[in-house]
Amino acid sequence: MTRWIAAAGAFIVSLDSTVNVAFPAMTAAFAIPPERVRWVIIGYVFSYALTSFVAGALADRAGHARVFRAGLALSALAFLLASIAPTFGWLLFARVVQGFGGGCVYGTVPGIVTLLATPATRGRALGFLNAAMGLGFSAGPLVAGVLVGVFGWRSIFLFRLPLALAALAWAVSALPPAAAPAARLVAARDVLRAPVLIAGAQAFVANASIFAIWLLAPFYLVGSRGLSVFAAGLLFTLTPLGTTLAAPVAGRLADKVGVRGPVVAGLLVEALGLLLMSRADPTTRLEIVAAGLFAAGFGVGLFQVTNMTQIMAAFTNAQQGAAGGFAFLSRTLGVVAGVLALAQLFAVRRVMIGLGPAAAEAFLAAGVTVALAAAVASLMRTR
């Protein structure tokens, strides 16, 4: 029951993939250029990047259930605020509040599921959690394709409000108390160790690069290819679907063969998907575009579960909240860096060469970066 409650919270937070499909509608509603929509991502992701680590460390002392419930309550409030936002600034404020809530959820769910798992089954537990997150990411674009087309972009926030309230009620009634609190808060020496920092750096690169898909694919599919919002959402779903399908596979691999091999393989598959997308133009067959989107997501799913397993194993049982928070901190700082860099590259090149070619160049930069990270990880494995 505990594992399912944690997965439900992570699923609701991960439904934020609905927002990406709504980017074109938001830019039209607030009369802003496409590159400015990056602040909708940054306001949310940066706040939950910082909150996830603090919330995870706090959960080791105050209890994972308390922090998890607070995260769901803040998320519900943010969904309401975003759905009624009269200005772009109001929307950004709501996204920051949503980031605080999402950080409290993301920062605690890895600890909740691993505290019940033995070291030999930790990978499968995290695979289950990441599959739930991937399912949320997968369902989001499909749901958004319908909601935005019929009810407008505000509905992507409003429909999650009752889901968050239902999960909160479930957590209040059924989530058991956490284990005994940790003797001390996590210290710098616990984090500043080679295994932790290396795994964190790899997560930073992988997630910075995958956001080329999350940020630019909707503009390529709708703006460059001229697809409908629903058709774009359907294709866009292939990336999180790949992540969802890879998660349980990665969890079993992590338990059976270790994490290093799957980490390198995941980075290579992600790089392949991004490089395929860099070759896409308005005439590219949709089968190739679909393959690139799916491969990028599958590679990330294979990487993320094994990477998180590596980070969680580097901390003691009393520090699993801090470990999970650090895993998400590494991911989300990468997302922020990726959004800033890729959006800036896209903005500059879009003026010079057009939307489609500018997106292709951003995909190429992301793919090359991940390929280099895979090469470094492979060399480290050899040594």
State the chain's mean pLDDT as an integer. 85
Q: Average pLDDT for residues 221-225, to the nearest whole number?
A: 78
Q: Give the confidence band of 381 by pLDDT, cuts at 50, 70, 90.
A: low
- Is domain 2-170+191-382 in CATH 1.20.1250.20, yes or no? yes
Q: Residues 6 or more apart from 254 whose CB is under 8 A from it?
A: 122, 123, 126, 127, 262, 305, 306, 309, 310
pLDDT in tens, 153-200: 899 999 999 999 999 999 998 887 655 455 566 777 878 788 888 888
Query: Domain limits of the chain?
Result: 2-170+191-382
Cα separation of 29 and 191, whole Å?
Answer: 43
pLDDT in tens, 47-61: 888 898 888 888 888
Identify the pLDDT of residue 178: 57
Q: Give the phi and the psi of residue 237 in degrees, each rounded to 5.
A: -65, -25
Identify the pLDDT of residue 382: 42
Cα separation of 138 and 294, whole Å?
Answer: 11
Q: Residues 6 or more apart from 172 whose CB is under 8 A from it?
A: 69
Q: Residues 6 or more apart from 9 whose CB is under 8 A from it?
A: 68, 71, 72, 105, 109, 167, 171
pLDDT in tens, 73-82: 999 999 999 9
Number of other CB atoms surrounding residue 320 within 10 Å: 27
pTM confidence score = 0.75
* Sign (positive or negative) of CA dihedral 202, 204, 206, 209: negative
pLDDT in tens, 129-151: 888 888 888 788 778 878 888 88
